[in-house]
Homo-oligomer: A and B are copies of this chain.
Amino acid sequence: MTRTDQKRTFKLTPYPEALKKLLETFNKGPRDCEVVPLEDSMDRVLAEDVIADMEIPQTDIAMVDGYAVKSKDVAEASITHPVMLNVVGKLYPWSKPSDAKIEDGQAIYVTCGAPIPNKADAVIMVENTILHDDKIEIRKPVRKGENIARSGEDIKRGTLVLKKGAILRPQDVGILAGLGIRKVKVFRRPKVAVIATGNELIELSREDPTRIVDNYALTISGLISKIGGEPVRLGIAPDDLEGTKKKICEALRKADIVVTIGGCSMGERDFVPDAVNSIGDPGVLVHGIKVKPGKVTGFGMIKGKPVVMLPGLFASTMAGFYLILVPLIGLYMGVEKEPLLPTVTAKMNHNLDPDEKNRYRFLPVRVKHLEGGLYAETVSGGPNSLSKFLNSNGFILVPPKKGLRKNEKVKVTLFSKEEFSRFYD
């Protein structure tokens, strides 16, 4: 028997150092932009500031259905001394402002959103008028400017509306449309190829090979799309070096970032690091990070593209995903200010003993809303526990040798923006 069981050892890199190396290595990578029709821009990241180039409203407009009047004409109106005005026209939102004007004693019917005719300075609501053929009777005064929205009152030309790096919400898209904007420059969504490797998958459906599903890849792909990347699922790599290399080469052709799941531990069937090293320089840059779980996480570079190696046990896969892949995708998305994942401050619901070893700990927690605010509690389960992730909605990253006291405040990073809904279960 050859020593195939122990062919590889690796030097563990402290997590902050690994992260720094990742971000520095890929910081100069392309942050491609594209121009998309506004209708397709939801959830995309703005690649430039957006400045209003029109006023909102564009002209003075009526805020209600009613009559545009000169306020001085009705200043003395009362029930005992109603004022009668001649109605000399109608204006609609699509009428041109220059189409109409009023003289003393006149009024023009305006629908909500219609331009205010020249010389009118107030709009009296339909409900407060009585119509007599082509005259209206008005029984109370109206203030100058009442029921009129002034040109530029809401947004002035030249206003910085949205900053570069903003993730466009539905309401932002509607507002940009309202500003006459039809296309926006956004960062291209990074394509992330996801390759599963064999070992841990087969284990899950040993009895029936037709039932094999790359379930970790399914989860990781879903989480990638939640944060704004475009997952490209490439299925399961065969359990040999050549097959693994071929899959990674395919991934490099099809995507901006390559992610492998499993196959990067010290076992004799862990072909991923060798594959990465043999395809192109510089190959593996970091393999082994001082973090628990997720120790065998690594990353490398081939043809300028990052290859992230995630471990194959679920808790480790998740740790590698959040600690290495998410920051990398953020870099490629051009998101500087807005976090991809929400964080909340919660109080620990129990003590957490310090770790004896010099490593960060990635601990899934369940955040719950109790009397007195948000509380976080760690969720038990080994590195291959699935249930741990059923019962948690975020994680804390605990520095080496640090413990936490009950009621101590911690920053919890939620697994995705969706997780808030489970605070109140």
Q: Hey, which bits of chain A sit against chain B, CB under 8 A?
A: 1, 3, 5-6, 38-39, 42-43, 56-59, 61, 63, 65, 87, 92-94, 96, 109, 111-115, 126-127, 129, 131, 133-134, 149, 153-155, 159, 161-162, 167, 169-180, 182, 198-200, 202-206, 211, 213, 215-216, 218-223, 226, 265-269, 312-314, 318, 337-340, 342-343, 345, 373, 381-390, 415-425
Contacts and interface: CB of A to CB of B under 8 A. Distances in A.
A175 B389 contact: yes
Contact of A203 (B93, B109, B221, B420): B93
If over half of A's interface residues share one DSSP class (helix, strand or loop), that class is named, otherwise mixed; here it is mixed
27 contacts: A5-B126, A38-B218, A42-B222, A57-B203, A58-B204, A58-B206, A59-B206, A61-B203, A63-B382, A65-B267, A93-B199, A93-B200, A96-B206, A111-B267, A114-B203, A126-B267, A171-B318, A172-B390, A177-B204, A177-B213, A178-B204, A178-B386, A180-B204, A340-B421, A342-B423, A417-B418, A417-B420
Contacts of A419: 169
Contacts of A174: 215-216, 218-220, 222, 314, 386, 389
A219 B154 contact: no
Given A39-B218, A215-B177, A342-B421, A265 B171 contact: no
Contacts of A115: 206
A222 B173 contact: yes
- Count of this chain's copies in the oligomeric assembly: 2
A386 B57 CA distance: 9
Given A65-B267, A170-B416, 6 more contacts: A1-B131, A42-B222, A63-B313, A92-B202, A174-B219, A178-B204
Contacts of A340: 421
A65 B219 contact: no
A143 to B, nearest CB: 15
Contact of A417 (B5, B93, B216, B421): B421
Contacts of A206: 58-59, 93-94, 96, 115
A133 to B, nearest CB: 6
A106 to B, nearest CB: 14
B182 A213 contact: yes
Contacts of A113: 199-200, 203, 312-313, 384
Contacts of A109: 5
B342 A169 contact: no
Nearest to A1: B134
B1 A133 contact: yes
A287 to B, nearest CB: 16
A154 B313 CA distance: 13
A182 B387 CA distance: 18
A330 to B, nearest CB: 12
A203 B269 contact: no
A171 B322 CA distance: 13
Nearest to A39: B218
A141 to B, nearest CB: 19
Nearest to A213: B177
Nearest to A153: B382
